[in-house]
Amino acid sequence: MNIALVLSGGTGSRLGADIPKQYLEVNKKPIIAYCLETLSKSSDIDGIQIVADTTWQSQIQVWLGAADPEGKFRGFSLPGKTRQLSIYNGLESIRQYASDTDAVLIHDAARPLLSQDLIHRCFIAMQDKVASADAPTIHGVMPVLPMKDTVYCSEDGKHISKLLDRKTIFAGQAPEIFPIGPYWEANVRLLPEEILAINGSTEPAILAGLEMVMIPGDERNFKITTAADLERFREIVNHSEKGV
């Protein structure tokens, strides 16, 4: 069983909107609905768990009428103090109905341009790793993008300390896929304090020594964080609607 864990507990404060960014409407559809519809229609996904504040849960259920045509929604989990604690809460809910040997796909509601192709490539990479005779038992998959610009390190944020080799540096994206049991255990090891310093979904896996496989990401699969990101998404959707 493959469960998608959709993170929708953020406040979107950096965007400066009156409501969380994932609930803003673009072409008469909330941003969260775009990825939910993609996940619902994916043949690789068996269920969808959503992390969302109780204030928004009833409204999300209304949107699910159109956004979840395959009826894969399994339930809500409450947001945590941080993104990683929200993931932990979601894992706790998922483990009530899924096996520890099943897979969890973690995605942000604010990444609306998730594609069927990227989802499928993530699962194919995970299956290939399992099938390989020399593959480690525990692993995960993360889409990444290569660095296009020259990358520098600054120790004080003001002066350049050293030049980094951009060929060895990658930007991680969602969705990331993990076997539920080992990934849950990796998060438990960080409770209660260390987990508060985690910034990315893959960090607990790396800290636990789990093998992570990188696959090519998708430039369109960006996260809406700023007003410029929102405008970019609007333009993409408008062009798509017009068949451009």
pLDDT given at position 239:
84
Mean pLDDT of 40-62: 97
Q: What is the pLDDT of residue 146?
A: 94
- For the entire predicted model, the pTM comes to 0.92
Q: What is the pLDDT of residue 18?
A: 82
The predicted pLDDT at position 240 comes to: 79
Q: What percent of the chain stands above pLDDT 70?
A: 91
pLDDT digits (tens, 9 = 90+) for 133-157: 555 555 799 999 999 999 999 999 9
Dihedral-angle region of residue 107 (phi above 0 means left; psi in -120 to 50 means alpha; beta otherwise): beta
Mean pLDDT of the chain: 92
Rounded to an integer, what distance in angstroms lies between the CA atom of residue 147 and that of residue 151? 8
Please state the rounded mean pLDDT for residues 23-28: 95
Q: At what angle do helices 31-41 and 54-67 cross, to 10 degrees?
A: 50
AA letter at 55? T
User: What 3-state DSSP class applies to 151?
Assistant: strand
Q: Can you tell me the distance from the alpha carbon of 143 to that of 117, in angstroms, rounded to the nearest whole number? A: 12
Mean predicted confidence (pLDDT) in 30-34: 98
For residue 135, what pLDDT is reported? 53
Q: What is the pLDDT of residue 8?
A: 97
Q: Note the pLDDT of residue 188.
A: 98
Work out the percent of the chain whose per-residue pLDDT is above 90.
87
Across the range 204-227, mean pLDDT stands at 94
**Would you say the C-alpha torsion 96, 98, 100, 103 has a positive or negative sign?**
negative
The residue count of the chain comes to: 244
Q: Are 42 and 118 in contact (CB under 8 A)?
A: no
Of 188 and 134, more confident: 188
Kind and range of the H or E run holding 220: none
* Joined tokens for residue 193: 């304090």
3-state secondary structure of 29: strand
C-alpha span between 64 and 37 (Å, rounded): 8
Residue 15 has pLDDT above 70, yes or no: no
